[in-house]
Amino acid sequence: MNALPPLPRRSSGAAKLVDGLSSLGLSCTLLCLLLFITWRGTMAQVDLGLFEAQKKYFDSLYFVEMAGPIPVLLPGAYLVLGVLTINLVLGGILRLRRGVATLGVLITHLGIVLMIVAGLVKFHYSIDGAMRLDPNAQVSSFTSYHDWEVAIAKVDGSDAQRVWLVPGTDFLEMSPAQTRTFRHPELPFAVSMSGFARNAFIRQHVAGNPRGARVVDGFFVDPMPLELENEFNEAGCYVDVSQNASGQRSEGILWGANRAPFVVRVDDETWTIDLRRRRFELPFAVRLDRFVKDDHPGVTMARDFRSFVTRTENGLEQGVEISMNEPMRHGGYIFYQSNWGPQRAPPGTPLYSVLTVVSNPSDQWPLISCLVILAGMSLHFGRKLWLFAQRSGASS
Amino acid sequence: MIRSTMRALASVMVAWTCAASAVAQTAEPPAVRRLEPWAKSTRDAAETMAIQDQGRVKPLSTFARFLLLRLSAGTSLALDAEGKVKLSPTEFALDCLFFQEQAMEYPVILVEDYDVLDAVGLGRIEGKRKRDRYSYHQLAPCFDRLFEQANRLNEIETRHQTPIQKQIVNLARNVDAFVAFLSWQTFSVIPPPQGEKEWLSPIQVRQREQFGETLPAQADVVARLMAMRDKLGSMSALDAAFTPLAADLAKMATDRGEYDKIPLEVSFYATNYFFWARWLFAAAFVFAALVFLAPKFSLTVWLTQGTLAPAVLLLCTGITIRCILRERPPVSTLYETILFITAVAVLVTLFIEWLQPRRVSQLIGAALGFAGMSLAGWYEEISGTDTMPQLQAVLDTNFWLSTHVTTVTMGYAAGLLASAISIAWVLVKTVVVVRGHFRETSTWLPAMTRMAYGALCFGALFSTVGTILGGIWANESWGRFWGWDPKENGALMIVLGILIILHARLGGYVRERGLHVLSILLGCIVVFSWFHTNQLGVGLHAYGFDEKLGRMIDRTYASLLVFAGLGSAIGVVDWMRERRRTVAAATSQSVQV
């Protein structure tokens, strides 16, 4: 067996910690944990859906798993990957015995570290969302798949409307029983949100509806079970607007599926409050000139679909074609052809195109890491195979 | 579905006048029976007739093969209990098209469990087994309830349906498909006018003519098909009408550039590459095993190589022809992964055999070849659909199919190969432990460990690179490198599994036996990634839950766990025996002293 040489005995605590963090025993333990977490997170998707399973098992520092009636605290993939990176850097790169025999291993470990760092950068600094393009419509923003926000704006007829935003992180974890109030020095009123549900349906109140439900203008917020696919959840809540000067209150309902925002009059001014998916503005606009969808003959499976768009930036126009596997990259954003609609529309219906828009600083790092790992592993295993073949030849 | 089926049922009754509703001919279907076999020239012409189905143009023989497979789980139709009178798929298709009444009497529709018939109110038919085939006429009395129940059950998610409920839905779909073909609804053999891509059935031609379109070439085909009804009494007369019509249809398809691969596909299925490869692998396995029992008998060595080589050749040729037919790299569907993984695993064993000629590797290769080919045949049977389907738009990229898919599949092959070698090691080791000695094991066991280690290294390279390439493809297609999709996670688990084994070996945490036990467990991870993730019903690779596949997966897990358990147990026995021996030796030494 090619076991690593034993580490020299160290006396200080810091040295022992470094020894422990760089040990192969820790590598094996972390890999086993990662294997278990990946398996659990995969199986959990059946009941929780991808979004919730990802949050619980993969994006977390820890999670609690029930072993029968006993709760067991386990590290999440985020924590395990973090420690694994330290282990890799210390044990697999810095303390690795240098030589021709380990050159491939060193390169491979460098590639893996680069890939984990790429994942970390993507996790913390990337944004993504969807852009719906109707025929000939020009759009310069896209909306997040998962993040929400409350947008407060004054209706003054100007194009450059100023918007005050309440980020989703301030209310997404609220329970229906909680109330949270938001104020801003520039706003002449305070906004209170209550009865929040990440997935809700707004129903008309009739006899037999849940007793005690708050009713606003004959409607109430009905919390629904979360959809397995988070994109289909439509958040909803009650909103109370309390004017700073007079203390006058107005109440309403905010719902993600509403096409129009809640409108309120304050001191002869009209304000809108909108619960919506987080919106990102682009430094340029995109217009859909033509959308082409081609089905396989006789079946309803799309063979190809692509958007012909015009990108407008600083008055300059450029035509671009976006299709599956052929995204448009521009200004730090990448536009992918992801969908179209309306689905199952009869022939001749004008179709809209849906693009996924991503901004990811580590976009191409995985490709570089893949090439590095390929080179490292090919070198290491190729050398081993060569030596083995030589030994076999010699012995025969 | 019920509406379409009822419409189809109605059209069966006027199949010959389908047609007919448009041209207002006779109302009664002719109930002529076929008394002679089909003329060879008719069969040949029908076999190479092109039909458009599921978005692609294929031979009628291929269409009929998969229809028969779907309906009856077989590629030929036995008309008697002994199986002496059989129809080929093409003959079955011809009977469906021209002798519907007769075809409705064929025992062609498989019912997996007669509880299904109880559930739809038909009850059990005397002389039929629990799993048996029924004719259309035998099942007809239950159609109302069958389709009513199937429509209701379709509202329930597949994973929440009971096995009987799934079978009811499946039976209704199969009856629907049978009726659609009997009534010529899916008989799309008429190439459309230039500029269109959807082929036409005779009914569609008549309908379009009714709406005032002029389709002279297509209408001529329909008229000639209709005229054949007068020739059903004589096979030679029918042949004289059918063969030239088939030739004209082939010419129409050729003019559109859609006929060039039809003859190759006909010959591909007629040659049955994978069937013969399977039995040659089986023979190779027997001969390779005999090599061990009679090592001095050199004929078995020659026989092993003489059967293994053509088996590999047939498998590789079959895969190559599929690539030519599809204009794709070797792997683009789950079925093709089975073929490719088998080929890669066997080729690697042969490479190992070449490096280390100890006859063990070729034995494992032959066993894997037979197992892989059997799995491919079984999978084709249970899925019952064309194994060369059209691909989703995102898969329409030969670059990524040939890089990511091929690479990651080679990683699967390496994982399975390592697992198979380790199972062999456990079996040999068990014999050694039980018998105390087995010939040549002193060299076999370390050789097998080296083989398993080599396969793991091979797997580490291809699984890691393949998995990352998958992420890069996803990044190019959807803008996310890693989405924690079950299939992605499965591939990652294989990488992690291999890395655990390699690092545990490097750190000295496992030795020979530990490596093999872990390697067998790696087989469980490969099965999870390969098939189980598709069964979960979530993610981008969800194909829906299949009861039979689910059972196969569970049995494979159980078998692998048994082998892993056996590997661990023999380690304990071995250790205890060794310890007893050491104690005995020490005792005898002290006695001598």
Q: Are residues B60 and B159 in the same domain?
A: yes
Instruction: Give the per-residue pLDDT at B96.
Output: 94
Provide the domain limits for residue A301. Answer: 127-139+282-359
Q: Are residues B84 and B191 in the same domain?
A: yes
CB A325 to CB B485 under 8 A? Answer: no
Task: Mark which of B531, B553, B584 sits at the end of a domain.
Answer: B531
Least confident of A140-149, B103-112, B468-477, B538-547: B538-547
On whether residue B318 sits in a domain, the answer given is: yes
Q: How many domains does chain A have?
A: 3
Q: Are residues B242 and B373 in the same domain?
A: no
User: Please, how many CA atoms are within 13 Å of residue B539, restricted to the half-sphere of its CB?
Assistant: 27
Which amino acid would we find at residue A66?
M
Q: How many domains does chain B have?
A: 3
**Angle between the N-to-C axes of helices B360-383 and B547-592, in degrees from 0 to 180, rounded to the nearest 10:** 160
According to DSSP, the β-strands at A236-243 and A189-197 are: antiparallel
pLDDT above 90 covers what percent of chain B? 66
pLDDT above 70 covers what percent of chain B? 92
Task: Mark which of B500, B531, B562 sits at the end of a domain.
Answer: B531
On whether residue B75 sits in a domain, the answer given is: yes
- CB contacts of A396 in chain B (<8 Å) are 357
CB B496 to CB A385 under 8 A? Answer: no
Q: Are residues A158 and A118 in the same domain?
A: no
Q: Are residues A286 and A276 in the same domain?
A: no
User: Please, how many CA atoms are within 13 Å of residue A238, restricted to the half-sphere of its CB?
Assistant: 22
CB B465 to CB A373 under 8 A? Answer: yes
On whether residue A4 sits in a domain, the answer given is: no
Instruction: Give the per-residue pLDDT at B327.
Output: 92
Give the integer Cα–Cα distance in Å for B219 and A200. 57
Q: Are residues B244 and B279 in the same domain?
A: no
Q: Are residues A65 and A170 in the same domain?
A: no
Q: Are residues B99 and B171 in the same domain?
A: yes
**Token couple for B415:** 């994982």
C-beta of residue B60 within 8 angstroms of C-beta of residue A303: no
Q: Are residues A156 and A30 in the same domain?
A: no
Q: Are residues B238 and B303 in the same domain?
A: no
CB A360 to CB B511 under 8 A? Answer: no
Task: Mark which of A235, A265, A280 sits at the end of a domain.
Answer: A280
Shortest Cα–Cα distance, B118 to chain A (Å):
32
Summarised one tens digit per residue, pLDDT across range B373-423 is 999 999 999 988 999 998 888 787 878 888 999 999 999 999 999 999 999
Provide the domain limits for residue B373. Answer: 272-384
Q: Are residues A91 and A202 in the same domain?
A: no
Give the integer Cα–Cα distance in Å for B375 and B416. 14
Task: Mark which of A242, A262, A280 sits at the end of a domain.
Answer: A280
Instruction: Give the per-residue pLDDT at A6.
Output: 54
Which amino acid would we find at residue A341?
G
- Least Cα distance to B64 among B108, B104, B34 occurs for B108
Q: Are residues B122 and B68 in the same domain?
A: yes
Q: How would you label B192-212 residue by residue, b for 16+ Cβ within 10 Å and e otherwise?
A: beeeebebbbbbbbbebbeee
On whether residue A184 sits in a domain, the answer given is: yes
On whether residue A272 sits in a domain, the answer given is: yes
Task: Mark which of A221, A245, A280 sits at the end of a domain.
Answer: A280
Q: What is the ipTM of this complex?
A: 0.88
On whether residue A252 sits in a domain, the answer given is: yes
**CA-to-CA dists, residue B580 to A112, A174, B96, B587, B590, angstroms:** 47, 66, 74, 10, 15
Rg, Å, chain B Cα set: 29
Res. B439 pLDDT band, cuts 50 70 90: low
Q: Are residues B22 and B90 in the same domain?
A: yes
Q: Are residues A92 and A30 in the same domain?
A: yes
CB B479 to CB A327 under 8 A? Answer: yes
Give the integer Cα–Cα distance in Å for B210 and B552. 52
Q: Are residues B145 and B226 in the same domain?
A: yes
On whether residue A6 sits in a domain, the answer given is: no
Give the integer Cα–Cα distance in Å for A11 and A14. 9
On whether residue B219 sits in a domain, the answer given is: yes
Q: Are residues B7 and B103 in the same domain?
A: yes
- Which CB contacts under 8 angstroms, 24+ apart, belong to A293-298? A293/A340, A293/A351, A295/B55, A296/B54, A296/B55, A296/B56, A296/B390, A297/B52, A297/B55, A297/B197, A297/B198, A297/B199, A298/B52, A298/B53, A298/B54, A298/B55, A298/B188, A298/B198, A298/B199
Q: Are residues A19 and A55 in the same domain?
A: yes
Residue of A nearest to B538 (CA): A46
- CB contacts of A119 in chain B (<8 Å) are 481-482
According to DSSP, the β-strands at A219-223 and A200-204 are: antiparallel
Summarised one tens digit per residue, pLDDT across range B14-38 is 444 444 343 333 344 556 788 889 9
Task: For residue B18, give every residue at least 6 positions away whose Cβ sits within 8 Å of its Cβ, in sequence order, or none.
Answer: B11, B183, B184, B202, B203, B206
Q: Are residues A254 and A351 in the same domain?
A: no
Residue of A nearest to B501 (CA): A28
Average confidence score pLDDT of chain B:
89
Instruction: Give the per-residue pLDDT at B348.
Output: 95
Instruction: Give the per-residue pLDDT at B355.
Output: 86
**Token couple for B367:** 């066993």
| Mutation target among A301, A325, A371 for the B interface, most CBs of B within 10 A | A325
Shortest Cα–Cα distance, B371 to chain A (Å):
27
Residue spans of chain A under pLDDT 70: 1-11, 159-160, 394-396
According to DSSP, the β-strands at A189-197 and A138-154 are: unpaired
Q: Are residues B282 and B376 in the same domain?
A: yes
Q: Are residues A167 and A47 in the same domain?
A: no
Q: Are residues A255 and A197 in the same domain?
A: yes
- CB contacts of B355 in chain A (<8 Å) are 388-389, 392
CB A325 to CB B355 under 8 A? Answer: no
Give the integer Cα–Cα distance in Å for B339 and B89. 23
Instruction: Give the per-residue pLDDT at A9.
Output: 58
A99: left (phi over 0), alpha (psi -120 to 50) or beta: left
Give the integer Cα–Cα distance in Å for B96 and B108. 11
Give the integer Cα–Cα distance in Å for B409 and B36. 49
Nearest to B484 among A25, A41, A369 (CB): A41
Is the model's pLDDT at B479 over the cut of 70?
A: yes
Nearest to B489 among A38, A298, A336 (CB): A38
C-beta of residue A164 within 8 angstroms of C-beta of residue A187: yes
On whether residue A295 sits in a domain, the answer given is: yes
Give the integer Cα–Cα distance in Å for B249 and B217. 10
Nearest to B507 among A4, A128, A228 (CB): A4
Shortest Cα–Cα distance, B586 to chain A (Å):
28
On whether residue B17 sits in a domain, the answer given is: yes
- CB contacts of B454 in chain A (<8 Å) are 385, 388
**Token couple for B440:** 């040549």
Is the model's pLDDT at B7 over the cut of 50?
A: no
Q: Are residues B248 and B210 in the same domain?
A: yes
Instruction: Give the per-residue pLDDT at B14.
Output: 41
Nearest to A38 among B159, B496, B539 (CB): B496
Q: Are residues A263 and A288 in the same domain?
A: no
Q: Are residues A253 and A202 in the same domain?
A: yes
Give the integer Cα–Cα distance in Å for A124 and B271. 56
